[in-house]
Amino acid sequence: MFKKQFFPESTIKSLATNKTVFNRGQALYDDGAVKNLGVDEEDRTIVFHVKGKADHYKTQISFLKNGVARKYHCTCPAFQQYSGACKHVVCSMLHLNNIKKDELTKDEKPQKSAPKQTASSRSSAVLKDLKQIAQTSSVHHLSIINKERVNFEFVLNANITSFNKQFEFYLRVGIDHLYVIKNIPYIIGQLLDGKAHEFGKQFAYTPSDFYITDEDREVLEMIYTIYNMTRSLTQSGYEISYTNKNQIEIPELYVPQLLEKMQATEGGFIRFDRPPSSITSVSNLEDIQFDYGTEDFPLSCSLSKQGTRFYFSLEGYDPRDAMLRFYDQAYMIELDHHFYTFDQQHYTLMKKVIELFKDNQYNAIALRNVDLTEFLSEVYPVIQSVLDVKMDSDVEKLTFKEDIQPELYLDYEKDTLLIEPVFKYGALTVHPLSDTDDSNQTEKIMVRAVETEAKLLRYLQQFIQASTVVESKWEISGVQEISYIIYNGVPEFAEIFDIYMSDSAKHLRYRRKNNRPVSIDVNPDSNLLEISFNLEDITEDELPAIIRQLSQTNKQFHKLSSGSILNLQSEEFQELKKATSRLDLKADDIKGNMQVPLYKGLSFLEDANVEKSEQFIQMTKSLLEPKEQNFTIPNGIQTELRPYQEIGFKWLKALDAYQFGGVLADDMGLGKTLQIITFILSKYHEKGGKYLIVCPSSVLYNWQYEFKKFAPSLDPEIITGNIEERQELIAQMKKADDGIWITSYPLIQRDGELYGDIHFETAVLDESQNVKNASAKTTKAVHRVHATNKFALSGTPIENNLDELWTLFSIVQPGLFADRSSFKQLETDEISARIKPFVLRRLKGQVLDDLPEKTETTEYIELESEQKRLYQAQLKVIRNEVQELLDQESFESNSIRVLAGMTRLRQICCHPSLVTDDYDGDSAKLERLMEYLQEAKENGKRVVLFSQFTKMLDIIKQKLNKIDMDYHYLDGQTKKEDRLELTARFNEGEKDLFLISLKAGGTGINLTGGDTVILYDSWWNPAIEDQAADRVHRFGQKNAVQVLRLISRGTIEERINELQEKKRELIDSVIETGENKQISSLSKEEILRLLDFE
């Protein structure tokens, strides 16, 4: 029978997958789970049959010739899945240990060749081998079974003198005989790299026969690291030349970590002496004693009373018998050859404490009775944080300990704030600023929380900076400094201190009984608002200065003549600031009670900080909730108004009742024209008078048509013709008592002076975006029109920026906003609040449940190759021009030139022949359009196609003519009279395609006969495109509407589309009170972004 090794329990544990697996294997063995075994002497293999919970498994262990186990295996799933010995192998090893050699039988002989394996079992076996290979760096694997452990002797020599501290490392290696290593770095490198090395006749290291424990390996790795670091650089920056490599110098900084690792090995020792004369005979070795932290440190202190004196002593150290050293770089203390290491803070403090006693043979410091309070309050807590301090019972009986209770006393005298901090300990009081206390009132020794006192004083000094200390108080002068403490400091102090304030100090803080600083009422006689400022103890003469300081300075506080100080940043005064700003009141004009126009105060309805009379609330609600108002639809309207249109009519009537103007900003297609006609008919029936409609030229006759359709009893006159004819019509208007007139924006610009002495009951501005430019002649002419009120109609009252809104309201409600510069300073939510009563906007999705769906689609089209070449060339030219303008800082003055270049890029996207006459290539967009129009025709769709370039429309017409596709056409040259006829014929079903110039037909016409809108090219302003699309998707549409945008991919059109999405946020941010931020019109930055400038 071949030799077999005995498996020590420690070896089996190291081989097991984990401790649990070992325990389960032990349990199997105890239960007699090995049922039989077989031996193959030729292969030196033993096979075991082990009964598991659910099945029998076969394990086998193979041995070398010398009887050392070579490998093991098991057929269970766990063995295939996890590394290490499974419970069945553990059971087999334990069983093998307890049978005699002659008990082994040959009942079973394993097959010489491996059993046939499935792909799955082969994969599992390979995985098992890989896992075992991965563990070759650890002793906890199978190879330990047949390997012998290498023994090491690590010696750290501590050569400590009063002048120097040196540590040298020595190494011996072997099995039974240990060899002195004369080249430590080389040998460690060989061992760590797993290379063979012959140490002598008795020991030749080979990785296949010997192993190194993890603990020993960690020491070797650290020494190797220290050697490589120290030989490359010292503190002075020079290399250490290791001429004698039988020892490694260990810097003090690394000693604690090395001691810890050496202490964990079986061969780690320390020696306290000069370096040995011969490294072959290193003697006087001691076991390493090393600990972390203060827990095991043997020194302590005591405080005792002997007679009338007190003694503070160091215990556990006698300088006559014990050796004690400090290692500052390592934060380590050596006491009787035992090392203790600490963190830096504890080490530094402990060293200072111990050194106080070190030269004192009695290890005690005598304290006088008068010193004990200071010692217990300041010294004792600090020392106790690093050393155990014992206080004998005689001392404890004399001490007085109470929790600290901080108090703060405030007084105000002669324009000076006095602050006195006080610390109470039970019945005893400490005055920290004068460092006095009343401890003399007791025989006991008071123990103060000195560190807590210091923290509290530092906390107070964050607020109390510009001050002087007089006796036990801080003295602070200066209004801002005092105010800051009263309003900002005291509320903070109250979280920590008990606060006591004198009456004079309390008076510094202004307190108002009425919580609302502003109240509003309506004066029924004058139709004005009565504004009252409810500020107790503030005289009317002081109000202007307060308002001026609120609006013009950054000062937080204001002192009244009464001595009280106002916190201008408080909610009440910020509300006052907001109210005066909203009312556009100047500081010098403000009085305790004053009157302002009604429209100034309407935005205060929802302001909880303003006190409002019931009459004011009802008046404002009539504008904000017109549905509840008692206005009836006038007789004579020839259609039934939808509910939202009736609300719009009532809103107009409510505004008119107070002679207010407003903006009807309903979404396009919701019938703004019908609502205003209903209002005019109602007002005309009540009081007659003259009414003026100003609209774009393109819809002059449409307005006349709408009046005849909805209010035939009114017969409006159109102001048109040459100058003589218009003068005659206006002259007749002047003579008439009442009537309705319709004119266009271009004509009122020319005829403005003729309207100078005519007063209208109401003037209506249709498509009011035409007067968005404040400096334009048209806008100025509309300004000069005299009317009781003016109403603007527009689905897009803001197209580009908020300046347009200011211009519009300067016409329809003059005075709502002050000058333009003040308007620009207002926040968006403030603008929204002011205009809210004067703007009514409903979206189609909100009010037209039966309006068919509108689907918007963007189709991206790749430019043709020749078209792309031309585009890239033109883009390069424009970019070079722009770069030159930027370099010359003349971009702004040449912006028109830049925009012209950008227009050329857009035209190339449409068709290059718009830019160059000799272009004979294709346009990808035009080809796609023709395909789409053919598809639309085949599917019975009726298309309205918009382009801003009439020349492009001409090219499209040529294409359509070639394929005999019929169409209507409308551009700026189409006569006003013909526009209505063309739209009517299209809506009645004549022809299925309408080509329209975007500027000429984007507003004022109804094209509900169509169901498909194609926007052939992109415009900077999305509102223009939306208006065009809503010619089709509007009230009266019966079919779902498809809107298609054709975009050339990778071009300026794609960038424009992105810009449009941002601009769409503008209306929502102001007209509808959303949270989007204001955006500007096409700025320099946007232009550069469109041209791909980063």
User: Do residues 114 and 48 lie in contact, with contact meaning Cβ atoms separated by under 8 Å?
Assistant: no
Confidence of residue 113 (pLDDT cuts 50, 70, 90): very low
Q: Which string of b and e fits 1027-1054 if b means at least 16 CB within 10 Å?
A: bbbbbbbbbebebebbbbbbbbeebbbb
Confidence of residue 119 (pLDDT cuts 50, 70, 90): very low
What integer pLDDT is reported at residue 137 of this predicted model? 42
Q: How many CB atoms lie within 10 A of CB 361?
A: 9
What integer pLDDT is reported at residue 327 of this predicted model? 92
Check pLDDT > 60 for residue 654: yes
User: Do residues 1016 and 1029 lie in contact, with contact meaning Cβ atoms separated by under 8 Å?
Assistant: no
Q: What is the pLDDT of residues 917-927, one digit of tens each?
A: 888 888 999 99
What integer pLDDT is reported at residue 519 of this predicted model? 75
**Which of 134-148, 631-645, 856-870, 899-913 bottoms out in mean pLDDT, i.e. has the lowest?**
134-148
Q: Give the range with max mean pLDDT: 7-21, 351-365, 558-572, 783-797.
A: 783-797
Q: Which residue has the higher pLDDT, 676 or 579?
A: 676
Confidence of residue 112 (pLDDT cuts 50, 70, 90): very low
Q: What is the pLDDT of residues 883-911, one digit of tens each?
A: 887 777 767 767 778 788 888 999 999 99
The enclosing H or E element of 126 equals helix 119-134
pTM: 0.49
Q: Burial level of 793, CB count in 10 A (0-12/13-18/19+)?
A: buried
Q: What is the pLDDT of residues 491-537, one digit of tens each?
A: 999 999 999 999 888 888 887 666 667 777 777 666 677 777 767 66
What integer pLDDT is reported at residue 852 of this predicted model? 83
% of the chain residues with pLDDT over 90:
33
Confidence of residue 238 (pLDDT cuts 50, 70, 90): very low
From 645, 769, 806, select the one nearest 1026 (Cα to Cα): 769
Calpha distance 691→678 (Å, rounded): 13
Q: Which residue has the higher pLDDT, 1063 or 788?
A: 788
Q: Across residues 999-1005, what is the average pLDDT?
A: 78
Q: Across residues 145-164, what is the average pLDDT?
A: 86
Give me the half-sphere count of Cα atoms (radius 13 Å) on the Cβ side of residue 453. Answer: 19
φ, ψ (nearest 5 deg) of residue 353: -65, -50
Instruction: Return all residues near 902 (Cβ < 8 A) that are at least 6 apart.
Output: 878, 1052, 1087, 1090, 1091
Check pLDDT > 90 for residue 8: no
**Which of 201-210, 423-432, 526-535, 974-983 bottoms out in mean pLDDT, i.e. has the lowest?**
526-535
Strand arrangement, sheet containing 717-718 = 717-718, 739-744, 690-695, 759-766, 786-793, 662-664, 839-840
Check pLDDT > 70 for residue 281: no
What integer pLDDT is reported at residue 123 of this predicted model? 46
- Parallel, antiparallel or unpaired: strands 473-476 and 468-470: antiparallel
What integer pLDDT is reported at residue 265 of this predicted model? 93
Confidence of residue 133 (pLDDT cuts 50, 70, 90): very low
Average pLDDT, the chain: 82
DSSP state of 803: H
What integer pLDDT is reported at residue 279 of this predicted model? 65
**Tokens, residue 812:** 């329809």
| Dihedral angle computed from the Cα positions of residues 84, 89, 91 and 93, in that order, rounded to the nearest 10 degrees | -100
Q: Which residue has the higher pLDDT, 690 or 40?
A: 690
Q: What is the pLDDT of residues 697-719, one digit of tens each?
A: 878 888 998 999 899 999 999 99
Q: Give the range with max mean pLDDT: 467-471, 494-498, 879-883.
A: 494-498
Q: Which residue has the higher pLDDT, 1036 or 87?
A: 87
Check pLDDT > 60 for residue 202: yes
The DSSP secondary structure of 546-589, one letter per residue, reads HHHHHHH----EEE-TTS-EEETTSHHHHHHHHHHHHTT--GGG
What integer pLDDT is reported at residue 954 of this predicted model? 95
**Which of 276-280, 716-720, 911-915, 1065-1069 bottoms out in mean pLDDT, i.e. has the lowest?**
1065-1069
Q: Across residues 778-783, what is the average pLDDT?
A: 94
What integer pLDDT is reported at residue 181 of this predicted model? 92
Q: Which residue has the higher pLDDT, 322 or 266?
A: 266
Q: What is the pLDDT of residues 548-568, one digit of tens each?
A: 877 776 777 878 777 778 777
Confidence of residue 354 (pLDDT cuts 50, 70, 90): confident
**Which of 160-169, 371-380, 581-590 bottoms out in mean pLDDT, i.e. has the lowest?**
581-590
Check pLDDT > 80 for residue 254: yes
What integer pLDDT is reported at residue 206 of this predicted model? 92
**Quick check: helix, strand or coil at residue 418?**
strand
What integer pLDDT is reported at residue 1061 of this predicted model? 67
| Cα first-last separation, the chain | 87
Confidence of residue 4 (pLDDT cuts 50, 70, 90): low
From 1033, 1038, 1034, 1071, select the one nearest 671 (Cα to Cα): 1034
Q: Across residues 598-611, what is the average pLDDT?
A: 70
Q: What is the pLDDT of residues 829-874, one digit of tens each?
A: 888 888 888 999 988 778 777 678 888 888 888 888 899 999 999 8
Check pLDDT > 70 for residue 630: yes
Q: Across residues 120-128, what is the average pLDDT?
A: 46
What integer pLDDT is reported at residue 192 of this predicted model? 92
What integer pLDDT is reported at residue 800 of this predicted model? 65
What integer pLDDT is reported at residue 781 of this predicted model? 94
Instruction: Return all residues near 473 (Cβ < 8 A) that are at least 6 apart.
Output: 418, 419, 420, 433
Q: Across residues 1066-1071, what is the average pLDDT?
A: 56
What integer pLDDT is reported at residue 569 of this predicted model? 76
Confidence of residue 127 (pLDDT cuts 50, 70, 90): very low
Bridge partners of 69, per DSSP, are 63
Q: What is the pLDDT of residues 210-230, one digit of tens each?
A: 999 999 999 999 999 888 877
What integer pLDDT is reported at residue 676 of this predicted model? 97
**Tokens, residue 179:** 């060899």
User: Do residues 934 and 1016 lie in contact, with contact meaning Cβ atoms separated by under 8 Å?
Assistant: no
Q: What is the pLDDT of residues 53-82, one digit of tens each?
A: 778 889 988 876 656 667 788 988 888 777
Q: Across residues 622-635, what is the average pLDDT?
A: 84
Check pLDDT > 50 for residue 695: yes
